[in-house]
Structure 1
């Protein structure tokens, strides 16, 4: 059926669409409207010989998975200006397009311009005279530092993507893009604030990142005017919210279609109570599915964090909340599947109240950079669905992990020198990673076939696996990696009684 549909599409498109394979452009019809072609390392002008016959060409679209393609400069200078009816133009794969030729500014019918991953440093002003332009793609233009001041002239622009650019600021005129539907600013590391009056973009449905201005830029109240936002939203620089009641003006509680929300503070706080009040006012809609709170400077989380009304949250990340001495009770988040806790400086005990009593539905659980964490008390809590457990850089953690993890598939313990007294019973374990430890695994039995085992920076004459009985009844271990360990004694034959085949074995900087 797929082949029949494909054949039908070719018949319907007929002579109006042409895909250039190799150098057969001489076969092109003068009636062709849509041209696509496979790029090579270097696309010379003669590759397109005869294409100038297609005076009604609407689409010029290179197709490539290459990252280092180059194009003859004459394609920009001489060929493209002949297609005055062009609607769709892409120069996306070309790594030598460091600037656009003035002739591009004469393509007045252009609707779609894709410059993704080109090394442009500056978008020329003449692009802003392309009044019919609806889509402008600049993703991964890592050298691009600014947009033209007149970009607000593009009244018909619907989609503007600036993901992973070096943009330092946006022109004030951007708020005049009254029809803008999508503005992607993710991974713009140099951007710290947005122009004033961003709330004028009332048709905006997708805004990935909002930067709260300190004095001159957009205040958080501008978010409240953007009533149609949906999808993902990251709010940066919340330390610039000077009045706690201003947090309520963002109207996050009304943004039902925002499903992924990240709230982020930067720098040290001077008033932890103020930050808590701000977060209290930033309560999201109950339909949010993914929530991250980064750099929060309060001493405790607001009450809404553990509210049973958030029945759809599946992902929660709390990071860099270094003044919090307690974690919020999350047992009422009935849909929570992934929990990540990072960089809590004052937490010394993880209590059962974090997960609630009974069976937790969490599938992925990660702890990182918990400097003072000493004890994990899991009394009364079970993790029947937990598949991935990561504990990284928790130097004071000791004692035992939860005793039975029946669904666990992957376990990573990284730089937790006091923890390795016992590991959980995990009949479905497939991958184990032990990094930078000096203690051995004790009294642990694995009954399933493990596919991957990695041991790195083990500093002891004993094996880290000496207490493990029967790593797998399987006769095959997919991969063993040993990095920077003091002795080959870490692998004792009794730990692998059935092992016949190791498919991949890597040993790096072993000090025998």
Structure 2
């Protein structure tokens, strides 16, 4: 037997400790419909395994488990090329083994809550850096993960990267950003080929927002919503809006009255490029404009 696809099991059903001992020749293992909170140590005996799907398939009759424990034995799967752990929330133990999976080509850890280890704040960044060091990784899905990290330089070599919904990213190196200037790996929302609609959100720290995602963009049409979430004039200055000479149509919108900055302070740093033909400013409440 080289492929095992267990059917859906209602409730949380632990796998026996020796569940995989008789199946040492397995190459494909799909546990995506199996409600387990722990992978047994015997998974390390599957030395020929190339494909492991332990994600949580959406099922409205069963709530997803709060976490799944990844045993150190997973690091023994040195031939593993595909690993899907998406929607498993907290992945306990994964950072300890990920760096051993040297043949990994595809990794999906979408919709996970983080990898905090013993309350160490740097645990998430250490884990991301370990992923960046995998020599053969080609595709990485980190979408909808709401924890803070800085994107490593090594991500520029990936063939496919998904960062959609990662609103707490602290920084993106220029060499990585220029690989996908139009969409920034899902962080931007292009409408058509040259239009970007961008909603500013709360950032990685109390003193930042996601406005810096626009640093490397230069679209024809740019709409920036929720400017009330910008925390400092330095953030606004950093995107160098006046230098984005491709922009012909620009919209700047404040959507709520709760602000971190006075509107004129912020607008002073968001001077439109000279090529702009259409400019909309909505929600601006100060009595005068910058001059």
Please classify the TM superposition score into its range, dividing by the shorter chain length.
0.5 to 0.7
Which residue in 2 is equivalent to 1:296? 230
Q: CA deviation at 1:265?
A: 5.1
What is the root-mean-square deviation of aligned Cα atoms in Å?
A: 4.7
Partner of 2:82: 135
SS of corresponding position for 1:143: strand
What is residue 206 of structure 1 aligned with on the other side? 161
TM, length-normalised to structure 2: 0.61
Q: Matched residue of 1:206: which SS? A: strand
Following TM superposition, by how much is the alpha carbon of 1:282 offset from its aligned partner in structure 2, in angstroms?
0.7
- Structure 2: how far apart are the matches of 1:280 and 1:184? 18
Runs of at least 5 residues in structure 1 that lack an aligned partner in the other structure? 1-56, 214-218, 236-255, 334-338, 350-512
Cα distance in 1 for partners of 2:42, 2:23 equals 11
The Cα shift of 1:285 comes to 4.3
Pair 127,141 (structure 1): closer, same or farther in 2 beyond 3 Å: same
Distance 1:148 1:188, change over 3 A: same
Q: Which has the higher contact order (CA 8 A, sep 6+)?
A: 2
Whether the 8 Å CA contact 1:178–1:201 is kept in 2: the answer is: no
Structure 1 partner of 2:142 = 185
1:157 and 2:110 correspond: no
Give CA deviations for 1:12-43 in whole Å, capped at 9, x if unaligned. Answer: xxxxxxxxxxxxxxxxxxxxxxxxxxxxxxxx
- Shift in CA distance, 317/199, structure 1 to aligned 2, threshold 3 Å: farther
Q: What displacement does 1:146 show?
A: 5.0
Q: Distance in 1 between matches of 2:2 and 2:168?
A: 38
**1:177 Cα shift?**
0.9
Cα pair distance change 1:102/1:281, threshold 3 Å: closer
Q: Deviations over 1:144-176 (max 9, x none)?
A: 355232411212212222222221414242221
| 8 A contact 1:81–1:106 mirrored in 2 | yes
Residue correspondence of structure 1 range 275-314 to structure 2 within 5 A: 282-286=215-219, 295-297=229-231, 302-303=241-242, 304=244, 307-308=247-248
Alignment check: 8 A CA contact 1:140 1:163 kept: yes
Task: Find the structure with the greater CA-based Rg.
Answer: 1
Q: By percentage of residues, which structure has more strand?
A: 1
The answer (yes or no) to whether the contact 1:234–1:263 under 8 Å persists in 2 is: no
Give yes or no for contact 2:197–2:222 (8 Å, CA) kept in 1.
Answer: yes
Secondary structure, counterpart of 1:173 in structure 2: helix
Matched, 1:101 2:40: yes
Q: TM-score, normalised by structure 1?
A: 0.37
Return the offset for 1:261.
Answer: 7.0
Counterpart CA distance in 2 for 1:296 and 1:124 is 42
- 1:101-500 superposed matches below 5 A: 101-117=40-56, 119=65, 120-145=67-92, 147-167=94-114, 168=116, 169=124, 170-171=126-127, 172-189=129-146, 191-194=147-150, 198-204=152-158, 205-208=160-163, 209=166, 213=170, 219-221=171-173, 223-225=174-176, 228-229=179-180, 232-234=185-187, 264=201, 266=203, 282-286=215-219, 295-297=229-231, 302-303=241-242, 304=244, 307-308=247-248, 322=259, 323=261, 324=263, 332=278, 346-347=284-285
Q: Is the 8 A contact 1:123 1:148 kept in 2?
A: no
Distance 2:111 2:69 in 1: 15
CA deviations over 1:272-311 (Å, ceiling 9, x no partner):
xxx9xx859714143899977763246789344992289x
Seen in structure 2, the aligned counterparts of structure 1 residues 102 and 288 have a Cα distance that, compared at 3 Å, is farther
Question: 3-state SS of the aligned residue for 1:81?
Answer: coil
- Counterparts in 2 of 1:69 and 1:202: CA distance versus 1, 3 Å: same
Deviation by residue 1:199-220 (Cα, 9 ceiling, x = unmatched): 123432214148555xxxxx54
Q: 1:142 to 1:286 in 2, by over 3 A?
A: same
Question: Aligned residue pairs: how many?
Answer: 239
* Partner Cα separation in structure 1 for residue 247 and residue 94 of structure 2: 43
- The answer to whether the Cα contact below 8 Å between 2:40 and 2:71 also exists between their aligned partners in 1 is no
Q: Matched residues in 2 for 1:194 and 1:211: separation? A: 9
